Amino acid sequence: MNESIDLRAWRQFLVLAETLHYGRAAQRLHMTQPPLTQAIQQLERRLGVMLFERTRRAVALTPAGAALVVPVKALLAQADALPALARAAGEGEVGRLRLAFVSTVGFDPLPRWLRAFREAEPRVNVALREATTDVQLAAFEAGEIDAGFVLHAPGMAPPGYERLLVRREPLVLALPEAHPLASATRLSLKALLAEPLVIFPRGIAASLYDAVLAFYHHHGAAPAIAQEAIQMQTIVNLVSAGLGLAWVPEVVTELQRTGVTYRPLPASLAGGAPRCETSLVWREPAPPALQRFIDFIRAQPER
Protein backbone atom coordinates (compact mmCIF):
# COMPACT_ATOMS: atom_id res chain seq x y z
CA MET A 1 0.00 0.00 0.00
CA ASN A 2 1.74 3.11 -1.25
CA GLU A 3 -0.97 5.67 -0.58
CA SER A 4 -2.43 6.69 2.75
CA ILE A 5 -6.07 5.92 3.43
CA ASP A 6 -8.23 8.85 4.47
CA LEU A 7 -10.32 8.83 7.62
CA ARG A 8 -13.59 8.71 5.69
CA ALA A 9 -12.76 5.22 4.41
CA TRP A 10 -11.95 4.04 7.92
CA ARG A 11 -15.20 5.50 9.26
CA GLN A 12 -17.14 3.63 6.57
CA PHE A 13 -15.32 0.41 7.43
CA LEU A 14 -16.05 0.82 11.15
CA VAL A 15 -19.75 1.56 10.72
CA LEU A 16 -20.15 -1.47 8.46
CA ALA A 17 -18.18 -3.60 10.94
CA GLU A 18 -20.56 -2.50 13.71
CA THR A 19 -23.80 -3.02 11.76
CA LEU A 20 -22.77 -5.87 9.43
CA HIS A 21 -25.49 -4.56 7.13
CA TYR A 22 -24.84 -2.37 4.09
CA GLY A 23 -28.25 -0.72 4.16
CA ARG A 24 -28.15 0.27 7.84
CA ALA A 25 -24.51 1.32 7.54
CA ALA A 26 -25.32 3.56 4.58
CA GLN A 27 -28.14 5.19 6.56
CA ARG A 28 -25.83 5.94 9.49
CA LEU A 29 -23.28 7.39 7.09
CA HIS A 30 -25.93 9.49 5.30
CA MET A 31 -25.19 7.96 1.93
CA THR A 32 -26.75 5.40 -0.40
CA GLN A 33 -25.75 1.76 -0.46
CA PRO A 34 -23.97 1.51 -3.86
CA PRO A 35 -21.31 4.16 -3.05
CA LEU A 36 -20.69 2.46 0.30
CA THR A 37 -20.25 -0.90 -1.39
CA GLN A 38 -17.80 0.66 -3.86
CA ALA A 39 -15.88 2.42 -1.08
CA ILE A 40 -15.44 -0.82 0.89
CA GLN A 41 -14.32 -2.67 -2.21
CA GLN A 42 -11.82 0.07 -2.98
CA LEU A 43 -10.47 -0.09 0.59
CA GLU A 44 -10.03 -3.85 0.29
CA ARG A 45 -8.19 -3.45 -3.02
CA ARG A 46 -5.84 -0.89 -1.53
CA LEU A 47 -5.16 -3.09 1.48
CA GLY A 48 -4.83 -6.21 -0.65
CA VAL A 49 -7.02 -8.21 1.72
CA MET A 50 -10.71 -9.00 2.14
CA LEU A 51 -12.32 -7.32 5.17
CA PHE A 52 -15.85 -8.71 4.87
CA GLU A 53 -17.39 -12.01 3.76
CA ARG A 54 -20.57 -11.32 1.80
CA THR A 55 -23.50 -13.58 0.99
CA ARG A 56 -27.01 -12.65 -0.09
CA ARG A 57 -28.23 -12.95 3.48
CA ALA A 58 -25.32 -11.90 5.66
CA VAL A 59 -22.18 -9.81 5.99
CA ALA A 60 -19.42 -10.99 8.32
CA LEU A 61 -15.95 -9.77 9.21
CA THR A 62 -12.99 -11.76 7.97
CA PRO A 63 -10.11 -12.34 10.41
CA ALA A 64 -8.31 -9.38 8.81
CA GLY A 65 -11.36 -7.17 9.23
CA ALA A 66 -11.89 -8.23 12.82
CA ALA A 67 -8.23 -7.44 13.62
CA LEU A 68 -8.72 -3.87 12.42
CA VAL A 69 -11.79 -2.93 14.46
CA VAL A 70 -10.06 -1.95 17.72
CA PRO A 71 -7.14 -0.01 16.16
CA VAL A 72 -9.50 1.80 13.78
CA LYS A 73 -11.71 2.82 16.72
CA ALA A 74 -8.61 4.18 18.47
CA LEU A 75 -7.49 5.99 15.31
CA LEU A 76 -10.84 7.70 14.85
CA ALA A 77 -11.09 8.61 18.52
CA GLN A 78 -7.67 10.29 18.30
CA ALA A 79 -8.69 12.11 15.15
CA ASP A 80 -11.92 13.31 16.76
CA ALA A 81 -9.92 14.62 19.73
CA LEU A 82 -7.51 16.66 17.60
CA PRO A 83 -9.63 19.86 17.29
CA ALA A 84 -10.10 20.09 21.05
CA LEU A 85 -6.41 19.34 21.57
CA ALA A 86 -5.44 22.07 19.12
CA ARG A 87 -7.69 24.58 20.88
CA ALA A 88 -6.31 23.57 24.27
CA ALA A 89 -2.72 23.91 23.03
CA GLY A 90 -3.52 27.27 21.51
CA GLU A 91 -4.85 28.44 24.87
CA GLY A 92 -1.89 26.99 26.79
CA GLU A 93 -3.87 24.22 28.52
CA VAL A 94 -1.68 21.60 26.84
CA GLY A 95 1.98 21.94 26.01
CA ARG A 96 5.54 21.87 27.23
CA LEU A 97 7.31 24.55 29.24
CA ARG A 98 11.11 24.54 29.44
CA LEU A 99 11.92 26.37 32.66
CA ALA A 100 15.35 27.18 34.10
CA PHE A 101 16.02 28.38 37.63
CA VAL A 102 18.85 29.50 39.87
CA SER A 103 19.48 27.36 42.93
CA THR A 104 18.23 29.97 45.41
CA VAL A 105 14.67 29.94 44.09
CA GLY A 106 14.79 26.15 44.39
CA PHE A 107 14.72 26.49 48.19
CA ASP A 108 11.51 28.51 48.14
CA PRO A 109 9.06 29.32 46.60
CA LEU A 110 9.61 27.33 43.39
CA PRO A 111 8.67 23.90 44.80
CA ARG A 112 5.36 25.26 46.12
CA TRP A 113 4.62 27.06 42.87
CA LEU A 114 5.38 24.03 40.72
CA ARG A 115 3.14 21.80 42.81
CA ALA A 116 0.26 24.27 42.60
CA PHE A 117 0.79 24.89 38.88
CA ARG A 118 0.80 21.16 38.17
CA GLU A 119 -2.52 20.84 39.99
CA ALA A 120 -3.98 23.79 38.07
CA GLU A 121 -2.58 22.82 34.66
CA PRO A 122 -2.02 19.04 34.67
CA ARG A 123 -1.61 18.85 30.88
CA VAL A 124 1.33 21.27 30.77
CA ASN A 125 4.60 19.37 31.06
CA VAL A 126 7.25 21.47 32.85
CA ALA A 127 10.84 20.50 32.01
CA LEU A 128 13.15 21.93 34.68
CA ARG A 129 16.79 22.90 34.36
CA GLU A 130 18.89 24.28 37.21
CA ALA A 131 21.31 26.86 35.82
CA THR A 132 23.09 30.04 36.82
CA THR A 133 22.03 33.28 35.16
CA ASP A 134 24.88 33.28 32.64
CA VAL A 135 24.09 29.71 31.56
CA GLN A 136 20.41 30.63 31.22
CA LEU A 137 21.19 33.55 28.93
CA ALA A 138 23.20 31.24 26.68
CA ALA A 139 20.32 28.75 26.71
CA PHE A 140 17.92 31.50 25.65
CA GLU A 141 20.17 32.32 22.70
CA ALA A 142 20.30 28.64 21.73
CA GLY A 143 16.52 28.30 21.94
CA GLU A 144 16.79 25.69 24.69
CA ILE A 145 14.55 27.29 27.34
CA ASP A 146 11.34 29.30 27.35
CA ALA A 147 11.76 31.16 30.65
CA GLY A 148 14.06 31.33 33.63
CA PHE A 149 14.27 32.51 37.22
CA VAL A 150 17.42 34.63 37.52
CA LEU A 151 19.22 36.30 40.44
CA HIS A 152 20.46 39.88 40.15
CA ALA A 153 21.05 43.14 41.97
CA PRO A 154 17.97 45.37 42.43
CA GLY A 155 16.79 46.77 39.11
CA MET A 156 19.51 44.94 37.19
CA ALA A 157 17.60 42.14 35.47
CA PRO A 158 19.17 41.05 32.16
CA PRO A 159 18.29 43.60 29.44
CA GLY A 160 16.28 42.59 26.40
CA TYR A 161 13.86 40.32 28.29
CA GLU A 162 10.39 40.66 29.68
CA ARG A 163 10.56 40.51 33.46
CA LEU A 164 8.35 39.62 36.40
CA LEU A 165 9.86 40.39 39.80
CA VAL A 166 9.16 37.52 42.19
CA ARG A 167 11.34 38.23 45.25
CA ARG A 168 13.28 41.00 46.98
CA GLU A 169 15.50 40.06 49.88
CA PRO A 170 18.63 41.17 51.73
CA LEU A 171 21.93 39.38 51.64
CA VAL A 172 22.82 37.95 55.03
CA LEU A 173 26.11 36.76 56.44
CA ALA A 174 27.07 33.12 56.46
CA LEU A 175 29.81 32.67 59.08
CA PRO A 176 31.80 29.68 60.29
CA GLU A 177 30.06 28.57 63.47
CA ALA A 178 33.27 28.64 65.47
CA HIS A 179 34.27 32.12 64.34
CA PRO A 180 34.13 34.79 67.07
CA LEU A 181 31.91 36.99 64.90
CA ALA A 182 29.29 34.22 64.71
CA SER A 183 28.44 34.65 68.40
CA ALA A 184 29.52 38.23 68.97
CA THR A 185 26.95 40.36 70.78
CA ARG A 186 27.73 43.30 68.54
CA LEU A 187 29.05 43.03 65.01
CA SER A 188 31.90 45.25 63.90
CA LEU A 189 31.53 46.17 60.24
CA LYS A 190 35.25 46.85 60.01
CA ALA A 191 36.00 43.38 61.34
CA LEU A 192 33.50 41.78 58.97
CA LEU A 193 34.91 43.47 55.91
CA ALA A 194 38.40 42.36 56.84
CA GLU A 195 37.47 38.68 56.85
CA PRO A 196 38.29 36.41 53.87
CA LEU A 197 35.37 36.27 51.46
CA VAL A 198 33.81 33.26 49.74
CA ILE A 199 31.85 34.43 46.71
CA PHE A 200 30.54 33.30 43.33
CA PRO A 201 32.48 34.22 40.16
CA ARG A 202 31.50 37.56 38.64
CA GLY A 203 30.58 35.90 35.35
CA ILE A 204 27.56 34.06 36.74
CA ALA A 205 25.81 37.10 38.28
CA ALA A 206 27.78 40.22 37.47
CA SER A 207 25.34 42.78 38.89
CA LEU A 208 25.14 41.05 42.27
CA TYR A 209 28.91 40.50 42.44
CA ASP A 210 29.44 44.19 41.71
CA ALA A 211 26.91 45.16 44.40
CA VAL A 212 28.80 43.18 47.04
CA LEU A 213 32.15 44.70 46.06
CA ALA A 214 30.63 48.18 45.92
CA PHE A 215 29.53 47.75 49.55
CA TYR A 216 33.12 46.99 50.54
CA HIS A 217 34.50 49.91 48.54
CA HIS A 218 31.88 52.26 49.99
CA HIS A 219 33.27 51.50 53.43
CA GLY A 220 36.89 51.85 52.33
CA ALA A 221 37.63 48.13 52.27
CA ALA A 222 38.98 45.82 49.60
CA PRO A 223 37.54 42.29 49.82
CA ALA A 224 40.05 39.51 50.33
CA ILE A 225 38.53 36.83 48.12
CA ALA A 226 39.59 33.49 49.53
CA GLN A 227 37.58 31.20 47.26
CA GLU A 228 35.01 31.31 44.47
CA ALA A 229 32.21 28.75 43.98
CA ILE A 230 29.27 28.62 41.61
CA GLN A 231 26.46 27.11 43.67
CA MET A 232 25.17 28.65 46.91
CA GLN A 233 25.21 25.22 48.55
CA THR A 234 28.92 24.93 47.76
CA ILE A 235 29.58 28.43 49.09
CA VAL A 236 27.89 27.53 52.38
CA ASN A 237 29.91 24.30 52.56
CA LEU A 238 33.14 26.25 52.11
CA VAL A 239 32.08 28.62 54.88
CA SER A 240 31.50 25.62 57.15
CA ALA A 241 35.06 24.53 56.38
CA GLY A 242 36.32 27.86 57.72
CA LEU A 243 37.54 29.34 54.43
CA GLY A 244 35.81 32.65 55.08
CA LEU A 245 32.45 34.36 55.36
CA ALA A 246 29.91 34.77 52.56
CA TRP A 247 27.03 37.05 51.64
CA VAL A 248 24.06 34.90 50.64
CA PRO A 249 20.40 35.61 49.84
CA GLU A 250 18.20 35.37 52.92
CA VAL A 251 16.37 32.36 51.53
CA VAL A 252 19.60 30.35 51.75
CA THR A 253 19.21 30.35 55.53
CA GLU A 254 16.74 27.51 54.94
CA LEU A 255 19.79 25.40 54.07
CA GLN A 256 20.83 24.26 57.52
CA ARG A 257 24.47 23.24 57.35
CA THR A 258 26.47 22.05 60.34
CA GLY A 259 29.26 24.49 61.09
CA VAL A 260 27.50 27.56 59.65
CA THR A 261 25.76 30.44 61.39
CA TYR A 262 23.62 32.95 59.51
CA ARG A 263 23.41 36.54 60.74
CA PRO A 264 21.70 39.55 59.24
CA LEU A 265 23.46 42.87 59.49
CA PRO A 266 21.98 44.91 62.33
CA ALA A 267 20.02 47.96 61.26
CA SER A 268 22.79 50.24 62.49
CA LEU A 269 25.18 48.70 59.95
CA ALA A 270 22.80 47.81 57.14
CA GLY A 271 22.77 51.15 55.34
CA GLY A 272 23.74 50.49 51.74
CA ALA A 273 24.13 46.76 52.40
CA PRO A 274 23.71 44.68 49.26
CA ARG A 275 20.30 43.24 48.43
CA CYS A 276 19.15 40.96 45.63
CA GLU A 277 16.15 40.29 43.46
CA THR A 278 14.85 37.20 41.72
CA SER A 279 12.94 37.66 38.48
CA LEU A 280 11.20 35.44 35.98
CA VAL A 281 12.45 36.46 32.53
CA TRP A 282 11.35 35.47 29.04
CA ARG A 283 11.16 36.76 25.49
CA GLU A 284 8.05 37.79 23.66
CA PRO A 285 5.96 36.43 22.14
CA ALA A 286 5.40 34.01 25.01
CA PRO A 287 4.07 30.59 23.90
CA PRO A 288 0.58 29.86 25.29
CA ALA A 289 1.80 27.41 27.96
CA LEU A 290 4.40 29.92 29.14
CA GLN A 291 1.81 32.70 29.25
CA ARG A 292 -0.33 30.55 31.54
CA PHE A 293 2.67 30.05 33.82
CA ILE A 294 3.44 33.78 33.84
CA ASP A 295 -0.15 34.59 34.73
CA PHE A 296 -0.08 31.94 37.44
CA ILE A 297 3.09 33.35 39.04
CA ARG A 298 1.79 36.90 38.78
CA ALA A 299 -1.32 35.87 40.72
CA GLN A 300 0.62 34.33 43.63
CA PRO A 301 0.06 36.28 46.86
CA GLU A 302 3.66 35.84 48.07
CA ARG A 303 6.25 36.97 45.62
State the Rg of the chain over Cα.
32
Pick the CATH number of 7-90 from 1.10.10.10, 1.10.645.10, 3.30.70.20, 3.40.720.10: 1.10.10.10
What is the spatial distance between Cα 268 and Cα 18, in angstroms, rounded to a whole number?
A: 84
**Whole-prediction pTM:** 0.71
Classified by CATH at the fold level, domain 95-167+277-298 comes out as D-Maltodextrin-Binding Protein; domain 2 (3.40.190)
What is the per-residue pLDDT for 94? 59
What is the spatial distance between Cα 37 and Cα 52, in angstroms, rounded to a whole number?
A: 11
What is the per-residue pLDDT for 83? 73
> Where does CATH 3.40.190.10 sit in the chain?
95-167+277-298, 169-276
> Where does CATH 1.10.10.10 sit in the chain?
7-90
pLDDT tens, N- to C-terminus, the chain (303 residues)? 446 788 999 999 999 999 999 999 999 999 999 999 999 999 999 999 999 998 878 899 999 999 999 999 998 888 887 776 667 566 555 588 999 999 999 888 999 999 999 999 998 999 999 999 999 999 999 999 999 999 999 999 999 999 999 999 999 999 999 999 999 989 899 999 999 999 999 999 999 999 999 999 999 999 999 999 999 999 999 999 999 999 999 999 998 889 999 999 888 777 778 999 999 999 999 998 999 999 999 999 876
Residues 6+ apart with CB under 8 A from 283: 140, 160, 161, 162
What is the spatial distance between Cα 261 and Cα 257, in angstroms, rounded to a whole number?
A: 8
DSSP strand pairing (147-152 vs 95-101):
parallel
Task: Give the 3-state DSSP-derived string for the chain, with helices as H, strands as E and coil as C.
Answer: CCCCCCHHHHHHHHHHHHHCCHHHHHHHCCCCHHHHHHHHHHHHHHHCCCCEEECCCCEEECHHHHHHHHHHHHHHHHHHHHHHHHHHHHCCCCEEEEEEECHHHHHCCHHHHHHHHHHHCCCEEEEEEECCHHHHHHHHHCCCCCEEEEEECCCCCCCCCEEEEEEEEEEEEEEECCCHHHHCCCCCHHHHHHCEEEECCHHHCHHHHHHHHHHHHHCCCCCEEEEECCCHHHHHHHHHCCCCEEEEEHHHHHCCCCCEEEECCCCCCCCCCCEEEEEEEECCCCCHHHHHHHHHHHCCCCC
What is the per-residue pLDDT for 91? 59
Pick the CATH number of 169-276 from 3.10.580.10, 3.40.140.10, 3.40.190.10, 3.40.50.920: 3.40.190.10
